[in-house]
Chains A and B, each alone.
Chain A
Amino acid sequence: MIEKLKIIVCIKQVPGIMEIKINPETNTLIREGIENIINPFDTYAIEEGVSLKEKLTASEGGSLDVEVIALSMGPPHSEAILREAISLGIDNAILLSDRAFAGSDTWATSYTLSKAIKKIEGWKIIILGKQTLDGDTGQVGPELAQILNIPFIGYASKITEISSNKMIIKRLMEDRYETFEIRLPAAISVGKDINIPRVPSLRGKMKSKSIVIPVWGIDQIDMDEKECGLNGSYTQVIKIFSPEHKYEVKMVHGTPDEQVNEIYSKLKELSII
C-alpha cells in the first residue's frame, strides 16, 4: 500500500531591493525598475521541502509517495517564482490569482491560502519562510495554522527527525534551544539557519520551462468575494510614509577625559544611563 504524503511550500514574490522607497506623493511603494524575486526566506522553505522529500523517500520510499507542491498567492507575474521553485526540485506548483484577492491583509491572505490547501488532498506538512521582505509581519504562518487547526512551530532551526506521522524540530531562541515533537499535519516557518539552498538542476530548469501551472481563482477555491481581498481584511493600511529624519548635532570638544565627562553627564541627563 503506497501512502501519499504532500508537502506544501508557501512562497511569495517580493520586490528585490534592500531599501524600500516610498513615493512621497502617493505614499505607495516605488516598484519601477525593481526586479521581482522569491522572498529570501522562502528559498530556505523550498530547500527544506525538497530536502524532506529526499529524506522521507530514503527512509520510507517503498511505502511512501512524497510530493512537494509550491503555492503562491499573487498577481499573474508571480508565476515566475513558482517556475523557479520547480527548477530547485519542487514537483508541482499552483498559482492563486484573482482580482478579488487584491488588498488582502495577513488574515485574508492566510484564509485564502487555507481554502486552497483544503482543496489539496493528502497534505501533511506546510512550510513557509519566517517573514517577507516587504511585509515583515511573520503573521501568515501562525494564522494559517490557526485556521487549519494544526500545530505551528516558527523559526525552526533543524528538523532532526521526520516520518510520515511526526516531526522532531529544534529551534534556537534568544537564550536557549527548544526541541519539539509534533504530530502531522503541521506547519513550520524557517529562516537562514536551517539549510543551504541548492542551485537549480539542469533537468529542473528544463521542467520549469515546460510545466503547466494551474491558476486558481475565487471560484476554484469556493470563496465568496466578501471573504477575500480588501473586503476580507480586518486591518487596512491607511498610510505609509517615510519618517522625516531630524538630527540635532552637538560637537564635544576638549581632552579625551573632558569629552568623556561631558558625554557621560549628557547621557545621564537624558536618562539613557
Chain B
Amino acid sequence: MRYLLTDEQKMIIEICKKIVDERIIPVRAEYDEKMIFPADIIKEIGRSDLFRLFIPEKYGGMGTGIFEVCLATEELSRGDLSVATTYAASGLGFIPIILMGSEEQKEKYLPVLASGEKLAAFGLTESDAGSDVGAIRTTAVKDGDFYILNGTKQWITNGGEADIYTIFAKTAPDKGARGVSAFIVEKGTDGFEFGKKEDKLGIRASATRELVFNDCKIPKENMISREGSGFITVMKTFDESRPAVGAQAVGVAQAALEEALNYSKIRSQFGAPISSFQAIQHMLADMATSVEAARSLVYYTAQVIDSGAKDVSRLSAMSKLFASDMAMKVTIDAVQILGGYGFMKDYPVEKMMRDAKITQIYEGTNQIQRNIIALDLIKKGFI
C-alpha cells in the first residue's frame, strides 16, 4: 500500500504492475539465462506512455518529474532489473538533451524518444575511464562543419539497441575534464560500430556493448551546448538520474523481500513455519525497515529535485548510495532466508542478488558517491 500519491501517480504504478505481472515475470528467468533483450516488453512500456514521464509536454512528454520516473522505475524493477535498466538508461541517454540541448535538438529527438519509438544510450565509460571522467580518450576533432570522432566506449547499456547516443569526447585533450564535450550520434552513422554483447553477472537481459568510433563524421549541430561543457552535462545529468538508480534498488529489494516473506510462511521446519522463528523475524523486520527508509530517501530526493532546488548533488548521491547498499544486503538476506532453495536458479532470488550488485557500481560507484557527499559536507555544511 503506497500512501500520499495522486490519482495519476497511482495510475503509473497500476500500469507498471500490469506489465510486470503479465509480461515480465513469465519470461524473466529465460531472458536472464539466454541474455535476450526484452524488445517486446520495451515496446509495451513505450506504448503505455512511460517514456513520456521524463519529457516536457512541449516535446510529447507528460510534463511529470523525476518522482514519477522513480515510481515507474521502482515498479518495473520489482519485475526485472534488466527491463528497468533498459528503461532508465534510455532516460539517462536523453536527459542531457533535455538539460543542455538546443531547441532544434529537443524538437528533433525528444518526440520519438517520448513515444518509445526509439531508445537512447549514454556513452561515457571507457576501458581506462570509469570514475575518472577526465581520463576519457575518445576525441572529437573539428573539421569545417563537422566533428570527427575516434575512440571506443565500453560497457554501454542499450548499446546496439538504441538509435540515439549521447557521446562524451575530448575536444581539448590537454584540458582534462574541462576538455570534454557532448555529442548526439545516431546509429547507422558511418564510422560508428558496435562490439560484441557483454556476458554479465547480472542484468543479463540488458544489452551492454562497446561503441567503436572510427573517423566517425557528425555535423557540428549535433554537439550539445558548447565545447568543454561535457563534464558539467555529466554531473547535472547524474544529479537527476541518481534517484532513479535508487528507485531500481528499492524495487529489486522489495521483490526479494516479498519472496522471502512468502517463503518463510510456507516453509516448515521443526514442526513450524520458519516465519515463527525469531531469527527469521528479525531479518525480515530489518529488511523491511531498510527498504522503507531507502524508499523515503529516494522519493524525498525526487521531490526536492522536482521543486527546482539548485543544490541537489549531496541528496542525490545519498539516495543512490543508501538504496543500492541496502538492496545488496536485502537480496543477500533473501537468498539466506530461502536457504538451499534460494541458491537454485529455479527460485527468483539468486537472480535478484546478482542483479542488485550493479546498482552499487554504475552511475558513479558508491565510493564516488561517498566522495561527493563528504566534499559537499565539508564545503557547505548545513544551511
Contacts and interface: CB of A to CB of B under 8 A. Distances in A.
Given A205-B14, A206-B11, A209-B7, A198 B50 contact: no
B27 to A, nearest CB: 13
A201 interface: yes
B125 to A, nearest CB: 32
B22 A205 contact: no
Interface stretch (B41-49, B94-102, B254-262, B297-305): B41-49
A198 B50 CA distance: 14
A205 B15 contact: yes
Residues of A contacting B: mostly:
helix
B238 to A, nearest CB: 26
A87 to B, nearest CB: 9
B22 A202 contact: no
B320 interface: no
**Interface extent on B, as a size class?**
10 to 19
A200 interface: yes
A118 interface: no
Interface in A201-216: 201-206, 209
A206 B7 CA distance: 9
B11 to A, nearest CB: 4
Chain B interface helix/strand/loop/mixed: helix
B7 A200 contact: no
26 contacts: A198-B47, A198-B48, A199-B18, A199-B19, A199-B22, A199-B23, A199-B44, A199-B47, A199-B48, A200-B14, A200-B18, A201-B15, A201-B47, A201-B48, A201-B49, A202-B8, A202-B11, A202-B48, A202-B50, A202-B62, A203-B49, A203-B52, A204-B49, A205-B11, A205-B14, A209-B7
A271 B7 CA distance: 64
Contacts of A203: 49, 52, 62
A202 B7 contact: no
Interface of A: 198-206, 209
Interface string B17-58: 011001100000000000000000000100111101100000
B208 to A, nearest CB: 27
B47 A206 contact: no
Contacts of A201: 15, 47-49
Contacts of B44: 198-199
A202 B52 contact: yes
B8 A200 contact: no
Contacts of A206: 8, 11
Nearest to A89: B47
Top 5 closest A-B pairs, CB basis? Answer: A202-B49, A205-B11, A201-B49, A201-B48, A199-B18
B212 interface: no
A205 B17 CA distance: 14
Interface of B: 7-8, 11-12, 14-15, 18-19, 22-23, 44, 47-50, 52-53, 62
B229 to A, nearest CB: 33
A205 B7 CA distance: 10
A162 B44 CA distance: 24
Nearest to A200: B15
A209 B10 CA distance: 13
B20 to A, nearest CB: 10
B192 to A, nearest CB: 30
Contacts of A198: 44, 47-48
A198 B44 CA distance: 7
A209 B7 CA distance: 10
Q: Which of A201, A202, A204, A205 has the most CB of B within 10 A?
A: A202
A204 B22 CA distance: 19
B133 to A, nearest CB: 35
Nearest to B12: A202
A54 to B, nearest CB: 10
A50 to B, nearest CB: 10
Contacts of A202: 8, 11-12, 15, 48-50, 52-53, 62
A199 B15 contact: yes
A156 B19 CA distance: 26
Contacts of B47: 198-199, 201
Nearest to B7: A209
Contacts of A200: 14-15, 18, 48
A206 B6 CA distance: 12
A211 B327 CA distance: 41
A202 B11 CA distance: 7
Max chain A Cβ within 10 angstroms of own Cβ: one of B12, B15, B23, B50: B15
A40 to B, nearest CB: 13
Nearest to B19: A199
A16 B23 CA distance: 21
B274 to A, nearest CB: 32
Contacts of A204: 49
The listed residue with most B CB atoms (<10 A of its CB), out of A199, A205, A206, is A199
B19 to A, nearest CB: 5
A202 B7 CA distance: 11
B42 to A, nearest CB: 13
Nearest to A203: B49
Nearest to B23: A199
Nearest to A198: B47
A203 B47 CA distance: 10
Which of A201, A203, A204, A209 has the largest number of chain B CB atoms within 10 A? A201
A178 B124 CA distance: 55
Nearest to B49: A202
A38 to B, nearest CB: 14
Given A199-B15, A201-B49, A202-B52, 9 more contacts: A198-B44, A198-B47, A199-B22, A199-B44, A199-B48, A201-B47, A202-B12, A202-B49, A205-B14
